[in-house]
Amino acid sequence: IVDWFKRGAIWRILTAPSGLEERFRDSLFYRLLTWVFNAVPRLLNLIYRKLQPTVDGSLFCRFLRFFGRRTLFFCGVVLLIMLASPYERWNNMYGFLLSVLLLCLLWVDCAFHPEQRIDVAQVGCWPVLFSTITCLSLLWSQAFSLSFKFLFFHITAILLVLVLVTAVRSEEQLLHLLELVAAGLLIAGIFALYQRVSGIEANASFTDLELNANMPGRVYSFFQNPNAYASILVMFTPLMLALTFLAKTWRQRALFAAATAVSGVALIMTYSRGGWLALAFAGVVLMLLLCPKWVPLLIVVGIAAFPFLPSNITNRLLTIFVGGDSSISSRNYIYSSMVRLLKENWLLGVGLGTNALKRGVAYYDVYFASFPFVHAHNMVLEVWGESGIFAAISFVMTMFTTFRKGLRAKRQAGTPLLRAMVAGSVAGLGWIISLWPAVCCSA
C-alpha cells in the first residue's frame, strides 16, 4: 500500500520541490529582508576588521566570541525556561527580551565569521509571508493598543525561528538543542505528575462535570489550561519517542525515554480528547515515516486495547459522540459567531491578538452564548479573524509547505538519527493539520 501511495499524485504533491521557493530568492522582498537582518553583523565585522590588531587578543573579544559561538546552546536554554516556567509568573516581555538577546548573539557570531549570514529563505517563503502579514496587520487593527501588546509575542516567535534556522549547522548541534527541550518537557511532566499526586480539583470551565462525574481534575503543569499543555505534549512527544531509539549515547536515550514516558503519562492525565486523538494520528505518521510495515499492527493493537482502558478514559472519549457535552456544544456558538464576524471583516480581520478578537466579537454583537468568549478554538479561524484572509491563507500554506519540506528532508537525510529528528518533527506538526477537517465539519 505504501509503495502504491508513493507512486501516486498526492505523494508527488507532498514531496516535489517548490518553484516558489526559488522565485522567492530572486525577489526584491527577499533581498531587502536579507540586507536588513545582515546589516548589523556587517557593520560589526567592519568595526572588528578596523580594530582587529588592537582588540583581537583582548578579554572582551574572547568573551564575545565564546558567547556568539554558543548561540544555539542559549537558544535551547531559553526553550527550556519557557517550558519549565509557571504561567502565572511569566510575562511575554521576558520571551521578547530573550529572543532579542539571542538575535544579538547570532549577530556577534556572524560578525566574527563573515562567511556566515542570516538567510531568510531558509525559513521558507510562506512562513516569511505569514510573519510579514501578521506584523503589518497591526496597522489596520480596530484595537491598536490591544494588538500592539500581542505584536511582541509574534516577534518573539519570529526571532526564535530565525535564530534556530540560522544557528543549527550540524546534526550534533541539533541533538544537543533537543536535549535541553527534553529536559524542559521532563520538568513540566514531573510537575504535572505532582499535581495529580497532590490532588487537583475538577474545573467546570474545562470539563462538563455532569457527563464526566468519575473523572478527576485535569492536570496542566506550568501552563494555563490542560488543552494548551496537551498541544505542547503532542507536538514534542513523537520527536522524543523517535530519539529514544536512535540517539547516539545511552545517556541521551535515557533522557529522551524519560521525557517520552513522563510526557505520555501527563498527556493522559490532561484528559484532552483532542490531544489523545492527535497523538494517535501523530503516532501513525511517525510509524509511516520510520517503519511503515508496522502500521497495520499498531492500528490493530490500538483498537484491541480500547476495551481494556480505564473507564474514566473510555467515558471521556465517548463523550465526543454524546449530545449535550458543554465543551463540544460551546464550540457551535463560538464557530457560528466567528462566521458572522468574518462576514463583516473577512478581508483584514479585526485586530492582532486574542484580546482584539474578543473586543471585535463584542463590538459586532455576534456571540449569543452565556459563557464568555475567549478565543476562536481553531487556529485558522483565529488567524483569519485577527489578521484577515491573506494571513489565514499564508498560515495554512506555511503548515502545508513545512510538512512537505519535512517529508522531502526525511528522504534526503544521510543518517538514521537525522531521519528520526525529521520524522519526529513532521509527526509533531502533522497533528495540527489532522484536526482541521474535524473542526471545519463541526463549524
Q: At what angle do helices 125-136 and 389-412 cross, to 10 degrees?
A: 150
Cell of 298: 499498531
Band of pLDDT at residue 208, cut at 50, 70 and 90: low
CA distance 346 to 339: 9
pLDDT at 211: 59
Q: At what angle do helices 416-442 and 326-345 cross, to 10 degrees?
A: 80
- pLDDT higher than threshold 60 for residue 277: yes
Cell of 58: 583582548
What is the percent of the chain where pLDDT is above 90? 51
| Average pLDDT taken over every residue of the chain | 87
Band of pLDDT at residue 440, cut at 50, 70 and 90: very low
Query: How confident is the model over 72-102, as pLDDT tens digits?
Result: 999 999 999 999 998 888 888 899 999 999 9
Letter string b/e over residues 317-342, b meaning 16 or more CB atoms within 10 A of that residue's CB: eebeeeeebebbebbeebbebbeebb
Cell of 342: 468574518
Band of pLDDT at residue 443, cut at 50, 70 and 90: very low
Where is pLDDT greater, at 140 or 314?
A: 140
**Which range (142-151, 186-195, 202-211, 214-223) has the least confidence?**
202-211
Q: Which whole number is the average pLDDT over 377-383?
A: 90
Query: Is 131 within 8 Å of 154 (Cβ atoms)?
Result: yes
Query: How confident is the model over 341-361, as pLDDT tens digits?
Result: 999 999 999 999 999 999 999
Query: How confident is the model over 407-439, as pLDDT tens digits?
Result: 888 888 889 999 999 999 999 887 665 554 444
Alpha-carbon distances of 136 from 38, 107, 347, rounded to whole Å: 21, 25, 14
**DSSP per-residue codes, 192-208:** HHHHHHH-----TTTS-
Alpha helices in 120-222 (DSSP H): 125-136, 144-167, 171-198
List Cβ neighbours of 201 (8 Å cut-off, separation of 6 or more). 217
Residue for grid cell 522567492: 24
Handedness of CA 140, 145, 147, 148 (dihedral sign): positive
Largest CA distance in the chain: 76
Handedness of CA 74, 78, 80, 86 (dihedral sign): positive
DSSP assignment letter at 87: G
Query: How confident is the model over 189-200, as pLDDT tens digits?
Result: 999 999 988 887
CA distance 385 to 376: 8
Query: Is 267 within 8 Å of 275 (Cβ atoms)?
Result: yes
CA distance 322 to 113: 61
CA distance 97 to 89: 16
Q: Which whole number is the average pLDDT over 255-274?
A: 93
CA distance 148 to 355: 11
pLDDT at 413: 86
Residue for grid cell 536512535: 246
What is the percent of the chain where pLDDT is above 70? 91
Cell of 15: 514531496
List Cβ neighbours of 159 (8 Å cut-off, separation of 6 or more). 99, 100, 102, 103
- Give the number of residues written for the chain: 443
Regarding pTM above 0.85, the answer is yes
Band of pLDDT at residue 212, cut at 50, 70 and 90: low
Comparing C-alpha atoms, which of 302, 226, 234 is closest to residue 269? 226
Q: Backbone phi, then psi, for 218, in 5-degree steps?
A: -90, 130
Query: How confident is the model over 26-52, as pLDDT tens digits?
Result: 899 999 999 999 999 999 999 988 888
Query: Is 404 within 8 Å of 153 (Cβ atoms)?
Result: no
- pLDDT higher than threshold 90 for residue 321: no
